Amino acid sequence: MDLKDKAYIVGAYEHPTRKAPDKSVAQLHAESAKGALEDAGLSHSDIDGYFCAGDAPGLGMLSMVDYMGLRNLRHVDSTETGGSSYLIHVSHAAQAIAMGRCDIALITLAGRPRSAGSSGTQPRNWGSDVPDTPFESPFGSVTVNSYAMVAQRHMYEYGTTAEQLAWIKVAASHHAQHNPHAMLKDVVTVEDVLNSPMVSSPLKRLDCCVVTDGGGALILARPEIARQLKRPLVGLRGAGEAIKGQLGGEVDLTWSAARLSGPRAFEQAGVTPADIKYASIYDSFTITVLMQLEDLGFCKKGEGGKFVADGNLISGVGKLPFNTDGGGLCNNHPANRGGITKVIEAVRQLRGEAHPAVQVPNCDLALAHGTGGFLGSRHGSATLILERA
Amino acid sequence: MSKPFQPNPIVAPTIEPGTEYFWEQAKAGQLTVKSCQSCGKVHWYPRTLCPFCFGETEFKPASGKGKIYSYSVMSRGNPNPYCIAYVTLEEGVTMMTQIVDCDLDDVHIGQAVEVVFKPTEGEDTPPVPMFKPV
């Protein structure tokens, strides 16, 4: 299906909180939804499609639909692929609208891991019947060491250095200094990253994303409705999704599922990586960014280290401005998963509403990419090519 | 710098239907892998249906020898530092494990290792396959 001009992103909202001990997760979802509706100029009763993922409390989406009082839903989708879910939701929402299954779709994410004291150094409890758990959890498998093993292998295969990875955090921090809501607003240097404590070798504390409370929401609408609204229109040109696991024991940490989802999105959009003016790249860890840049084709496999060095990802300095909100590395990673924040900053760039210090001139084509789950074992991957309509 | 291995408590694995034999063999100190009766391929972790072709599978003994494919040392362990790893067995599959009984700062990719079963918490629970340098 050609997605061009079938649906538009008309509302986007990032909750300003980064610590919300006095708010419930459901409340953060609802406040994010309200913010996105206000941004779009739509109201509560207009929503007839709803998308949420594993961060929504309760049984699938039943609790959230009931809590928010969404009575007019004709289409629902709770696709769960970790932090890549919300990018898949954008694609699925556009398809649902194109198929006539709904007119105005809402996507929400929210969580408060910071208040709850949960992070990527602790085991996650997925229940007792997960088939891989008995063969992984006894060995201390957590989020950060899954990504760290990818980084270790990348260094071995391609000579990638800790200094090169550090440049990714440095670039994010240059952007975060302009974001008043960012959790980490201080510009850091390569030395700062290298001197931060080792968490899981070779990843240091500043190679890791922030742990924040917060949320975000997006609204997509069919073109006839979208054109009557007040906001600049952002269209979806192409989308791709993929899952990669351990391949039955044929483990290969040198590539991620972005190698599959990326080409699918670029082919549908009819563009190439060289055409992209701005990229939102999932940044749970610095290595996540490096792997995606290679697998999406912004540089050759193994050359990511050289590509990200010397400020190449800094807006106004380098060739590929990325994560101009400060990303998950400095700004926000609500629910221990970003994803929706990747789409929100791409929408700001395409509308020309990013902070003036980081706004990419004439930004008419952007990429947003999500990697969810565990890069070293099993992960979801979603790529969106977005354009200013 | 050195980080001599110090054991951490290990939560016992849940013994899922279809994996009983694997854990019985673990108690006897034998690592097993599953192979497919249709396509002949070995896979990891053990399934009752082959993840390459959905054929029926059977357990067979593994040599317990392999090489480190990748690893990471968690500095703040539980409570001690530990080294998670992927080890590629001689049988060709790569499995998640831990590297133990050595200086964790000396662990490196390509290192030859052999299986050593480590006890888990609780009574009559199976040990889990970890690896030490040869």
Query: What are the pLDDT digits (tens) for A274-320?
Result: 999 999 999 999 999 999 999 999 999 999 999 999 999 999 999 99
Give the gap in angstroms from C-alpha B10 to the nearest C-alpha of chain A. 6
Over chain A, what is the mean pLDDT? Answer: 96
| Pairwise CA distance, residues A20 & A44, whole Å | 24
Tens digit of each residue's pLDDT (9 = 90 or more) over A14-53: 999 999 999 999 999 999 999 999 999 999 999 999 999 9
- Interface mutation vs chain A, best among B35, B44, B57, B70, most A CBs within 10 Å: B70
**Alpha helix stretches (DSSP H) within A99-159:** 113-116, 143-158
For residues A58 and A64, the answer to whether their CB atoms sit within 8 Å is: yes
d(CA A37, CA B99): 52
Give the model's confidence band at A58: pLDDT under 50 very low, under 70 low, under 90 confident, else very high: confident
DSSP assignment string, A274-339: GG-SEEEE--SBHHHHHHHHHHHTSS-TT-HHHHHGGGTTSTTTSSS-B-TT-IIIII--BTT--S
The 10 Å Cβ neighbour count of residue A96 is 23
Contact list in A for residue B46 (CB cut-off 8 A) is 135
Complex confidence, ipTM: 0.98
Using DSSP's 3-state secondary structure scheme, residue A163 falls into helix
Chain B contact present for A145, CB below 8 A: yes
Contact criterion met (CB below 8 Å) for B105 and B73: yes
How many Å apart are CA A219 and CA A105, to the nearest integer?
6
Total Cβ atoms within 10 A of residue A272: 10
Task: Give how far A141 is from chain B: nearest CA, Å.
Answer: 7
Please state the pTM of the whole predicted model.
0.97
- Rounded-to-integer distance, Cα B48 and Cα B63, Å: 21
For the stretch B93-122, pLDDT in tens is 999 999 999 999 999 999 999 999 999 999
Mutate which of B22, B34, B72, B118 to test chain A, going by most A C-beta atoms within 10 A? B72
**Smallest CA–CA distance from A140 into chain B, residue:** B84
Q: What's residue A273's pLDDT?
A: 98
* Per-residue pLDDT at B1: 66
What are the chain A neighbours of B38 within 8 Å (beta carbons)? none
Q: Does A152 touch chain B (CB under 8 A)?
A: yes
Question: DSSP H helical segments within B1-134, as ranges?
Answer: 20-27
Side-chain half-sphere exposure of B27, counting CA atoms within 13 A: 12
| Set of chain A residues whose Cβ sits within 8 Å of the Cβ of B26 | none
Query: Using CA of residue A347, residue A350, residue A351, residue A352, what is the dihedral sign?
Result: positive
Q: Do B94 and A249 touch (CB under 8 A)?
A: yes
Q: How far does CA A308 lie from the centroid of its chain?
A: 19
